[in-house]
């Protein structure tokens, strides 16, 4: 149980394009989902917290117009990187809170490379 | 401010031996949860073990166990009978009870397992 999928796992795009990443909780309902960014050899950096049906809460320094988050259902959250630039290249990980309410289960991550 | 500290950037263990990873945290809360997550080279974050602060009994999951010292704010992870598949980054994380579940991560410990 407590499986979270993330799609795509890999994406390469040209500078200026937008990229959408999906995060799904497959076998539980997730009222809260989280989006992280991870740089090589570093810990996870929380970008935003999203609750189903409401606007996401962004961490300080994260541009909400750059990283659009939608949490339309209890099993799906999406992160759209708008007008991507090479500095947005990173590893993006989502997680969902379910089961034991304080436990987060993570998706496998998405590697984004912007050329 | 709540912080999580992992003082060992890297650790090494011989296959079949036991290793202990250290984690300390700082909080003024009395109720909270602590976690150990494993991130292998695939970069999938995997929940290893979970501890509720109100429980005095140390959590155990097969070869993984914790030494939770609430007064000392210490939460170490012991891996017994180490296997090659245990090689990974290990992150200690904290979240206060009743919060949205935002995790505060340590910087991680890279564990190598020697055959």
pLDDT at B53 (0 to 100): 93
**Is the CB of B43 less than 8 angstroms away from the CB of A108?**
yes
Which residues of chain A neighbour B3 with C-beta distances below 8 Å? Answer: none
Using a CB–CB cutoff of 8 Å, tell me whether A91 touches chain B: yes
The answer to whether the CB atoms of A109 and B46 lie below 8 A apart is no
Q: Test B101 with A93 for CB contact under 8 angstroms.
A: no
- Chain A residue with minimum CA distance to B99: A102
The percentage of residues in chain A with a pLDDT greater than 70, rounded to a whole number, is: 97
Nearest to A103 among B47, B100, B106 (CB): B47
Q: Does A65 touch chain B (CB under 8 A)?
A: no
> Each residue of B12-24: pLDDT tens digit?
999 999 999 999 9
Q: Is the pLDDT of residue A105 over 70?
A: yes
Per-residue pLDDT of chain B (115 residues; tens, 9 = 90+): 789 999 999 999 999 999 999 999 999 999 999 999 999 999 999 999 999 999 989 999 999 999 999 999 999 999 999 999 999 999 999 998 877 778 999 999 999 999 9
pLDDT at position A106? 95
Does the distance separating the beta carbons of A43 and B106 come in below 8 Å? Answer: yes
CA separation for the pair A89, A11 (Å, rounded): 10
Minimum CA–CA partner of A51 in chain B: B100
CB contact under 8 A, A109 and B91: no
CB of B112 within 8 Å of any CB in chain A?
Answer: no
Integer Cα distance of A15 and A87 in angstroms:
10
According to the model, what pLDDT value does residue B62 have?
96
- Please indicate whether, in this complex, the C-beta atoms of A103 and B46 are within 8 angstroms of each other: no
Between A28 and A10, the more confident residue is A10
Kindly tell me if the per-residue pLDDT of A31 is higher than 70. yes
Q: What is the chain B residue with the closest CA to A102?
A: B101
Q: How confident is the model at residue A72 (pLDDT cuts 50, 70, 90)?
A: confident
Q: Do A104 and B99 touch (CB under 8 A)?
A: no
Confidence of residue A64 (pLDDT cuts 50, 70, 90): very high
What is the DSSP annotation of chain A? ---EEEE-SEEEE-TT--EEEEEEESSS--SEEEEEEE-TTS-EEEEEEEETTSPPEEPTT--TTTEEEEEEETTEEEEEE-S--GGG-EEEEEEEE-SSTT-EEE---EEEEE-
């Amino acid at each position: 149980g407590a499986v979270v999928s993330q799609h795509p796992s890999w994406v390469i795009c040209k500078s200026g394009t937008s990229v959408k990443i999906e995060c799904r909780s497959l076998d539980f309902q997730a009222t809260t989902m989280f989006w992280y960014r991870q740089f090589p050899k570093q810990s996870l950096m929380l970008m935003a917290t999203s609750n189903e049906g409401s606007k996401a809460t962004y961490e300080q320094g994260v541009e909400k117009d750059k990283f659009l988050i939608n949490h339309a259902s209890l099993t799906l959250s999406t992160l759209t990187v708008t007008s991507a630039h090479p500095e947005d290249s990173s590893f993006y990980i989502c997680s969902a809170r379910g089961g034991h309410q304080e436990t987060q289960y993570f998706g496998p991550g998405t590697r984004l490379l912007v050329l | 401010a709540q912080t999580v500290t992992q003082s060992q950037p890297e650790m090494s263990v011989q296959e079949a031996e036991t290793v202990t990873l250290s984690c300390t945290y700082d909080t003024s809360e009395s109720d909270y949860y602590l976690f150990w997550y494993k991130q292998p080279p695939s970069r999938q974050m995997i929940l290893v073990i979970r501890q509720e602060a109100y429980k005095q009994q140390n959590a155990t999951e097969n070869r993984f166990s914790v030494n939770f010292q609430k007064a000392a704010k210490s939460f170490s992870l012991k891996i017994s009978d180490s296997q090659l598949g245990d090689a990974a980054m290990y992150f200690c994380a904290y979240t206060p009870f009743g919060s949205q579940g935002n995790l505060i991560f340590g910087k991680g410990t890279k564990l190598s397992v020697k055959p």
